[in-house]
Amino acid sequence: MARRGNLYVISGPSGAGKGTLVARVLGRVPDCWVSVSATTRAPRPGEEDGVHYFFLSEERFEELVAQGGFLEWAQVHSAKYGTPLASVREHMDAGEQVILEIDVQGAFAVKEKIPECHLVFIDVPSIEELLARLRGRGTESEDVIAARMEVARVELSQKERYDYTVVNDDLERATEELAAYIERQAQSRS
């Protein structure tokens, strides 16, 4: 059966393991493509421009907003993040499984513009586990972690509005579940 192009919007609290899950799904689903967002935040150690994000100045980001270059954009924590429109369109038109890894505000903005997209929430087993994961990452100060926990509580309250939820309790199991969900959508006909 022919596969059709789909758009998946993946969100969930910072520390839920979205990035790791998505990277693993890429290795299992052949025609998946992940959008690289633009951001005004500084790169973390090990992050590369054009790979993890396009790291832009405030000025350049605002220019792209004014030119209508983003499918959506949002202020998250203390920085701006946006989904470049042209590349998403290109890959959807090519019939690929396009993944956006963005926050909840962005997810609902995309759903409004592209109602047939699939909203997938990556959940944590518990709020205590989330705090432990954020601390374990060791990249952020306690102040930043506290702010992220606050945002996480708001994000968790939006979970019912998503089409599908994957609890990242075990990386291998959660990868299988997300890959299987994408495969099902890709194989169903519109």
Q: Between 11 and 185, whose beta carbon lies closer to ligand 5GP?
A: 11
Q: Is the distance from CB of 41 to CB of 78 less than 8 angstroms? A: yes
Which lies closer to ligand 5GP via its Cβ, residue 99 or residue 186? 99
In the complex with ligand 5GP, the residue whose CB is nearer, 3 or 87, is 87
Task: Output the smallest distance, CB 190 to ligand 5GP, in A.
Answer: 26
Nearer Cβ to ligand 5GP, position 44 or 173?
A: 44
Euclidean distance between CA atoms 42 and 60, whole angstroms: 14
Q: What is each CA distance from 171 to 20, 110, 141, 154, in whole angstroms?
A: 8, 27, 26, 24
Token pair 């968790």 is found at 156
Kindly state the smallest distance separating residue 160's Cβ from ligand 5GP, in Å.
18
| Angle at the Cα of 86 from the Cα atoms of 176 and 123, rounded to 5 degrees | 30
Nearer to ligand 5GP, 96 or 103 (CB): 103
Minimum distance between the CB of residue 64 and ligand 5GP, rounded to whole angstroms? 11
- The nearest distance, CB 12 to ligand 5GP, in angstroms, is 8
Separation CA 104–CA 16 (nearest Å): 13
Those residues with Cβ within 8 angstroms of residue 58's Cβ, 6 or more apart along the chain or in another chain = 40, 80
Contacting positions for ligand 5GP (CB under 6 A): 11, 14, 37, 41, 72, 74, 76, 81-83, 101-103, 105-106
Work out how close the CB of 56 gets to ligand 5GP at its nearest, in angstroms, rounded to a whole number. Answer: 11
CA angle 144, 105, 121 (to 5 degrees): 85
